Amino acid sequence: MKPRVMIGLSGGVDSAVAAYVLKQQGYDVIAGFMRNWDAFANNDMLGNPTLRDPMCPQEVDFEDAEKVAKALDIPLFRIDFIQEYWDHVFTYFLKEYELGRTPNPDIFCNKYIKFDAFLAFAKSHGASLIAMGHYAGRVDRDGIAWMEMSADENKDQTYFLSQLSQQQLTSTLFPIAHMPKAEVRAIAKKLNLIVADKKDSTGVCFIGERHFKDFLKNYIPAQPGVMIDKASQTVVGEHEGVFYYTIGQRKGLNIGGSTRFASLPWFVVEKDVKRNILYVAQGEDNAYLLADTITVNTLNWISEKPKVGDTIMARFRHRQPLLPVTITSLTDESMTLIFPKPYKALTPGQGAVLYLPPYCLGGGLINEVFYQGHKR
């Protein structure tokens, strides 16, 4: 028999089919369900024990994971990483918002929880490998593991895995890497698994779908202020707190419907945290949304570090098409990327992930954004 592997069983269809594939391949499969969010415990950590979060989607997911594990005859462990998630993911998430940035907690959830704390737990239970139902692949060449993009481009999750280390990748299997989603669901239906038609999870990693502004208000109190039109420098509305908005945001601004303004949509283009001002501008092609240069920090290279002068592909959002960029400076701590044409709505705090298709090299986080020499 092949070595023991612990699959991260989430209660969704992807990890369920991944577990099945591992068994078919002859691995000694055990499973772990990660419980990382507990509103009661987390609010006690925050010093606000009266704050309550009624949503608990993890309990439903755990019940589904139990049924899948039973159907596949796989031992299932329930693992609490609540403290680890709070320390390494959620506190970072809150601090970034307080700085006016827009973090992507899923990237660090993968780095510190799913592929670190979970890996340590798996090894303590005799597993030399872990496996996930992510749409990403691993290819070993000359002793180096490369992260490969998924065959299902619409589902590719390498963007969220860009902070993994070489050691983490070499310890991981991705059993459904080359399957389209339709095939995954077809296998689950053939096996009569309860999750075959379960919808994909969305929202913040382990926290789930929320009315995000209301959720964030639990942790960062509202600080109302003015919205200012960047072009005319006139007040056009009020905001509930600059922390709750992201660059490029269109919905929820409540400016439209007035005869004072043209019919063009409004977009968030800048956040001034110190003065509590939210700057907006009209039109999808307004210059205030554009960027031609960014700096990137928190760098991580999975397999190969690129070089200054390389023209390479990048992605700044999950599911965004790959875009060409050129590296003009690169140190261990930061890099500068320039673009052949301006790109829209690049947001400090979000991932800047580099690719040599079909491989994901890694990347970092957007730190500063510039257009025509001026910092956004």
Predicted confidence pLDDT, tens digits, the chain (376 residues) = 799 999 999 999 999 999 999 999 999 999 999 998 775 545 545 555 444 444 456 788 999 999 999 999 999 999 999 999 999 999 999 999 999 999 999 999 999 999 999 999 999 999 999 999 999 999 999 999 999 999 888 899 999 999 999 999 999 999 999 999 999 999 999 999 999 999 887 655 545 555 667 888 888 888 999 999 999 999 999 999 999 999 999 998 988 655 566 778 999 999 999 999 999 999 988 999 999 999 999 999 999 999 999 999 999 999 899 999 999 999 999 999 999 999 999 999 999 999 999 999 999 999 999 999 999 8
Told to judge if 109 belongs to the known catalytic residues of this protein, a careful annotator would answer: yes
Query: What contacts 207, CB < 8 A, 6 or more positions away?
Result: 37, 215
According to DSSP, residue 102 is labeled -
Please confirm, yes or no, whether 56 is among the known catalytic residues: no
Q: Are 374 and 368 in contact (CB under 8 A)?
A: no
Q: How far apart are CA 33 and CA 7, in angstroms?
A: 9
Rounded alpha-carbon distances, angstroms, from residue 83 to 102, 203, 287: 23, 20, 43
335 contacts 329 by C-beta, under 8 angstroms: yes
Q: Which of 13, 89, 109, 302 is catalytic?
A: 109
What end-to-end distance do the CA atoms of the chain give, in Å? 57
- The torsion region of residue 14 among left (phi > 0), alpha (psi -120 to 50) and beta comes to alpha
Name the residue ranges covered by the structural domains of the chain.
4-133+175-213, 222-282, 289-375
> In sequence order, which residues have a C-beta less than 8 Å from that of residue 120 and are 6 or more positions away?
none
CATH topology of domain 289-375: Elongation Factor Tu (Ef-tu); domain 3 (2.40.30)
Q: What is the pLDDT of residue 29?
A: 98
Q: Which of 6, 82, 205, 330 is catalytic?
A: 205
Residue 325 contacts residue 312 (beta carbons within 8 Å): yes
Instruction: Say yes or no: do domains 222-282 and 289-375 share a fold.
Output: no
Dihedral class, residue 37 (left if φ above 0, else alpha if ψ from -120 to 50, else beta): beta
Domain boundaries 4-133+175-213, corresponding CATH code: 3.40.50.620
pLDDT the model gives residue 52: 44
Residue with tokens 């989603």: 181
d(CA 11, CA 19): 11
Bridge pairing between strands 4-8 and 76-80: unpaired
Residue 151's pLDDT is 85
- DSSP strands (E only) in the chain: 4-8, 28-35, 76-80, 129-131, 136-141, 144-149, 172-173, 225-229, 235-239, 266-272, 277-282, 290-301, 311-315, 323-330, 334-344, 351-356, 359-371, 374-375
Q: What's the confidence (pLDDT) of residue 95? A: 93
Looking at residue 50, what is its pLDDT? 45
Return phi, psi of residue 131, to 5°: -140, 150
What's at 342, amino acid-wise? P
**Residue-by-residue DSSP string for 333-365:** SEEEEEEEEEEE---TTSEEEEEETTEEEEEEE
HSE-CB at 73 with a 13 A cutoff on CA atoms is 5
How would you write 221-232 as a 3-class SS string? CCCCEEEEECCC
Q: What is the pLDDT at residue 44? A: 47
The predicted pLDDT at position 286 comes to 93
Note whether 327 and 308 are within 8 A (CB): yes
Q: What is the pTM of this model?
A: 0.90
What φ, ψ does residue 3 adopt, rounded to 5°?
-65, 165
3-state SS assignment for residue 52: coil
pLDDT at 70: 98
Query: For tokens 């499969």, what's the residue?
Result: 29
Neighbours of 175 (CB within 10 A): 26
Which homologous superfamily is 222-282 in?
A: Adenine nucleotide alpha hydrolases-like domains (2.30.30.280)
Cα(133)–Cα(259) distance, rounded to whole angstroms?
51
Q: Which of 350, 303, 10, 76 is nearest to 168 (CA)?
A: 303
